[in-house]
Chain A
Amino acid sequence: MHDHAHHGNELDEMTARVRALETILVEKGLIDPAAVDAIIETYEHKVGPRNGAAVVARAWNDPDFADWLRRDASAAIASMGFVGRQGEHMVAVFNTPTAHNLVVCTLCSCYPWPVLGLPPAWYKAPAYRARAVREPRAVLAEFGVTLPQETQIQVWDSTAEVRYLVIPQRPEGTDALNAEALAALVSRDSMIGCGLARSPEAA
C-alpha cells in the first residue's frame, strides 16, 4: 500500500481494515470524510463527562432543578443544552446516605452520551457487564470504593433506550463552592456509580 511504502510502518490489522472500509464508502459516495472528522471531533473534544458534572453541580445547588431532574430528567438536562444521540430518554438516579446507584448495560454498551460522552473501555468489556449486576461491591472495590455493609445498592441495567445518570452525594464542606468548583469534584465514574464525588481537600 501507498502508506506502507512511503512511511515504512506496518499497518496493524484493524487500522488497515477500517481504512479499507472508509476508502470504499468514500469512493461510493456514501460517506464524507469531513463528516467522519466532525463526528470524531464532537466526541473527542466537545461532548464528555464535564457536561454531566455541570448537571450534577446544578442539582446540588438548585433544589428546583433537582426536583425537575427527578420528574423529567430528559427535559431538565436538555434545558442545559445536552441533547441528542443516546440521551433521548434520560433518568437521573440520586445517591443518598442509605442507597447507592450503579449503571451498566449487560447486553451491549448503552451509555448516556450527551452527558458523559463515549463509554470507557471497561464499561463495554465483559468483566464489568457480567459482574456489575451480580457483585457490585466487588466491582466497586476495584475502583477503590467501599460502601457501608448496610448501604442498599441499586443497579440499573440499560436494556432499553432509557439512559441513566447517577447524581452522587454532595461532599461535606462544599457549602461555599460555586457551580464550577462543585463540578470539578464530580468524576465521570461517580456519575456511572463506580466512584464518589471528591471532597474539596482531595480535589
Chain B
Amino acid sequence: MNGPQDLGGRHGFGPVLPEDEGIRFHADWEKRVLGVTLAAGALGHWNIDASRHARESLPPATYLSASYYAIWLRALETLLVDAGEVTVEELSRGHADAPGHRQDRRLMADGVEDVLATGGPANRDGPVPVFSIGDRVRTRNHQPSGHTRLPGYARGCTGVVTAVHGPHVYPDTNAHFEGENPKPLYTVRFAAADLYGDDADPTLTVSIDAWEPYLEPA
C-alpha cells in the first residue's frame, strides 16, 4: 500500500540520531509492548505479514509521529480486535468482559526460549525460479492498495539479480489471510541513478529482496 511506512528515498525527515548500543529501551512500557506483542503472536491469530500490515495501516499522521513501540501497541490492539479476542469496549475499560478463545495456545514462561529459538522460517516448497543470477530484470509498476513489500522508490526500475533464495511466503497474499502462496524470492541490485535520476550518488547501489511477481524480464 502507498502508506506512511514506505519511506525509502523520501526527503525532509531530518538527521539520524545515533545512540549508545547499551540502550535497549527508553521506557518500561516499551518492554511490556515487546513482551505482550510476542506473547500474543503465539496465539496464532495472525502472521508476520498481517502484523506489518496492521502497523502500516495506522493513520499516516499517527504512524509518522509515533515511536515504533507505540506503533506496535496500536497495531496489536487492532489485530486482537480483528481476531475477535478483544473488544473496543474492553480496551477502553481496561478489563476483560469474557474469557479468551485460544487459552489453549497461551505461551507459558517455560516455552519462551523454544519459541524464540525456533522463529518462523519463510522458505517453502514452491515454483522453480524463472530468473537466474546475472539476469536483468525490471520491477513492475506494482502498487496494490493492500500489503506489498516492493518499496515505492524501486518501482519500474531496472536492476540485476544477484541472489536466488528459492520460494518464500508471499506477503501480498499472506498479509490478508489469502494463503502463503510461495513465490521465488530474489535479491535485485540497482544502480542509484536508475532509482533516483541524475542527482544520485554514482558510487551507490541499492539491493532489495523481491518476489517473482514484482519482476519482469528487462
Residues of A within 8 A of B (CB): 12, 14-25, 27-32, 34-40, 42-44, 47-49, 83-89, 91, 104, 106-109, 117-118, 120-122, 124-131, 133-137, 139, 142-143, 149-162, 187-189, 194
Contacts and interface: CB of A to CB of B under 8 A. Distances in A.
B100 A25 contact: yes
A43 B112 CA distance: 12
Contact of A24 (B86, B192, B210): B86
9 contacts: A17-B29, A25-B36, A85-B38, A89-B165, A107-B52, A127-B13, A157-B208, A159-B149, A159-B150
Contacts, number: 281
Contacts of A21: 36, 73, 76-77, 80, 86, 91
A48 B157 CA distance: 36
B25 to A, nearest CB: 7
B153 interface: yes
B-side binding surface: helix, strand, loop or mixed? mixed
B203 interface: yes
A142 B15 contact: yes
A20 B31 CA distance: 14
A111 B189 CA distance: 19
Contacts of B177: none
Q: Which of A84, A150, A157 has the most CB of B within 10 A?
A: A157
A15 B26 CA distance: 12
Contacts of B195: 133
B213 interface: no
A109 B72 CA distance: 11
Given A14-B73, A130-B11, A34 B108 contact: yes
A135 B109 contact: no
B119 A120 contact: no
